[in-house]
Structure 1
Amino acid sequence: MELHAISTGQQSIYQFVKVASQIHPWTTAIHIREKKWSDSQIINAVQQLMHTGVPLSKIRINSRTQLAADLKIGGVHLSEHMSYVNADDPPSLWKVGRSVHSIEQALQAQSEGIDYLFYGHIYSTNSKPDLIPRGLDQLEKLCHAVSIPVIAIGGIQPSHCQDIHRAGARGVAVMSGIFEAEHPQHACQLYGQSIQYMTFTHLQSLGKK
């Protein structure tokens, strides 16, 4: 399973880079989801991440496709209503993701060549207190409807990883659970350990068949 850590818009560049540099060994990808940051601020953040040892291939930027390609990072993540416009000269391991909230949106994204999906919110979350969680049943239906990887997002705790995997998701995405935790590195390790344990037990079960 994959672990995607997403910035929350509540940190300064310094705070974001500090946390990201601590957690990256446990993550598949670190997403810069900062709508208020200018391009120059994002460039600054990426350069600082690189200097602290975060691989460019792990970094994703939300929405700004060409900027992400120019920086030679791991990819771009699009909101549900954004169409993908081919970037000039993207890196070889380039990934394009999109957030979706329905099977119809997921199928449309797949038909457009999107590499992976974020789907949620799965559990109750403080960021969306008035919206009913979509839950594991809807997650499972969406995972079975598409062939591209689905990453679950929204209110996810380390203890949820096994149920999310059983529903067919290929990973989890976490925002405040990591970036706003009292001890972000420890929080990220708990997610990583839960994923490792779940993966180990899954492989064991396959070996017994």
Structure 2
Amino acid sequence: MGITTSQVDYKLYLVTDREVLGTRDLINSIEEAIKGGTTIVQLREKNCSSLEFYKLAIQVKEVTTKYNIPLVINDRLDIALAIEADGLHIGQEDLPITVARKLVGKNMFIGVSATTLEEALIAQEQGADYVGIGSMYPTSTKLDAKYVTIDELKQIREAISIPIVGIGGISEENVAELMSTKIDGVAIVSAILGKENIKTATENIMNSINK
């Protein structure tokens, strides 16, 4: 049995992107982010073979297990099952959550990306354990992102009871504005992995969250 959703702290949700890292090592970078306060890690790999993704996921899981941090696999249900990940994150274009749930059972929590109140309500109704809402701000890691306003985020927060994670262009400068809407956490890529000192960048964001 993996980490159950009731045990998950969504506060600082790291989403990986090797392009943002450049030549730096992904595994070391994830470890530095965890040392800085990251509470959950999502492995997102859009441009690699299944075998490469699997091998990478095994390595990442060693680090997250060492620190007792939940590991979420983005999109790839097969990889999540193969490495016995703690969680799976799916988008609106992926397998329906009802199908994913049948395949992973109760041993894995499932998150769903949503950009509207309707999508968030459906995700909750169909059994999502949390939703990722965004893009909240312009982001270089997803150029085709649809934007969600702070008011829309507040409406979603009022309408659903499952945890909400804001995503998209979130930085040390705007994280306080998002957390004021009473969401459960923020998902971050560039504002951590794009910084020279990953541990310090993570600590700075966590300080802003805790304010």
TM-score range, shorter chain: 0.7 to 0.9
Deviation at 1:4, TM superposition (A): 0.7
AA of the residue aligned to 1:141: Q
Q: Is the 8 A contact 1:73 1:91 kept in 2?
A: no
C-alpha distance in 1 between matches for 2:151 and 2:178: 10
Give 1:73's aligned residue.
Answer: 85
Q: Is the 8 A contact 2:135 2:147 kept in 1?
A: yes
Q: Is the 8 A contact 2:33 2:198 kept in 1?
A: yes
Distance of aligned partners of 1:35 and 1:106 in 2 relative to their CA distance in 1, 3 Å threshold: same
Q: Deviations over 1:3-54 (max 9, x none)?
A: 1111125157972212112112311211111112222212221222244x32
**Unaligned ranges ≥5, structure 1:** 199-209
Match of 2:101 among 45, 68, 86: 86
**Secondary structure, aligned partner of 1:113:** coil
**Unaligned ranges ≥5, structure 2:** 1-9
Distance of aligned partners of 1:108 and 1:126 in 2 relative to their CA distance in 1, 3 Å threshold: same
Distance of aligned partners of 1:135 and 1:163 in 2 relative to their CA distance in 1, 3 Å threshold: same
Match of 1:99 among 113, 121, 129: 113
Matched positions, count: 195
Distance of aligned partners of 1:187 and 1:14 in 2 relative to their CA distance in 1, 3 Å threshold: closer
Deviation at 1:66, TM superposition (A): 3.3
Give 1:146's aligned residue.
Answer: 160
TM-score, normalisation: structure 2: 0.81
Percent identical across equivalent pairs?
25
C-alpha distance in 1 between matches for 2:23 and 2:161: 36
C-alpha distance in 1 between matches for 2:205 and 2:134: 18
Q: Which moved more, 1:152-161 or 1:26-35?
A: 152-161
Q: Is the 8 A contact 2:134 2:168 kept in 1?
A: yes
The structure with more radius of gyration: 1
Give 2:15's aligned residue.
Answer: 6
TM-score, normalisation: structure 1: 0.81
Distance of aligned partners of 1:90 and 1:147 in 2 relative to their CA distance in 1, 3 Å threshold: same
Q: Is the 8 A contact 2:11 2:185 kept in 1?
A: yes
**Secondary structure, aligned partner of 1:138:** helix
Deviation at 1:99, TM superposition (A): 0.7
Q: Is the 8 A contact 1:69 1:87 kept in 2?
A: no
Q: Which moved more, 1:14-23 or 1:147-156?
A: 14-23
Q: Would you say 1:191 and 2:202 are equivalent positions? A: no
C-alpha distance in 2 between matches for 1:86 and 1:13: 36
Give 2:44's aligned residue.
Answer: 33
RMSD in angstroms over aligned alpha carbons? 2.5
Q: Would you say 1:17 and 2:38 are equivalent positions? A: no
AA of the residue aligned to 2:31: S
Q: Is the 8 A contact 1:72 1:90 kept in 2?
A: no
